[in-house]
Structure 1
Amino acid sequence: MLFQVTWQLHEGFNHDVIRHFAAMTPEEDEALMGDNLKLVGRWHDMVNGSGVAIFETDDIKAITAYAMGWNQFMDLDISPVVDDETGREIGRNLPAEEEVEG
């Protein structure tokens, strides 16, 4: 499954967290993710202290543990996301309007 993680650094932590992240090697970052979490891509809004990442995992504990390692410095939101093909498949299987009750 794919998950979108967005974050907003807590006020006053921007430079400290950026320095901490910048000092990490890619190998250290991967070690924090563990074996069951794959980073697909990550983008940073350095000025506003926010960003977005896409992770792949079938282990909800893996992404939760990774987020817990950072949540003392930032607010994080985690949402399942799908690619275009999967989104279209879901859309094709939606009930017709006349089938919807309520």
Structure 2
Amino acid sequence: MAEIKPPVETFARIKVVGVGGSGGNAISRMIETKLKGVEFVAINTDSQDLHQNKAQEKVHIGKNLTKGLGAGMNPDVGRQAAEENRDEIQEVLKSADMVFVT
């Protein structure tokens, strides 16, 4: 039987993205359970909440729009904040084969 040399890595690079306070809490809980095989990314407008998150990678969005505060549960503010940092978000996700957003 033919062998592939060098051996091919068959694992997908998976990133789980927690958006906002609730999504950030979800991924922090996953990290606490020592979930393996995935990378975690926290994305938030709230700088204090983001600072406390346990994710390896963090993207602070909407700094100019919200001045480091939350989006006030307003989806339009969240969308504008994400658009403000679109390039950063794309950069952190470009290496992933699969992305799950919570």
Structure 1 length-normalised TM: 0.26
- Higher RCO (CA-CA < 8 Å; seq separation 6+): 1
Structure 2 length-normalised TM: 0.26
Higher-Rg structure is 1
Of Structure 1 and Structure 2, the greater strand share is in 1
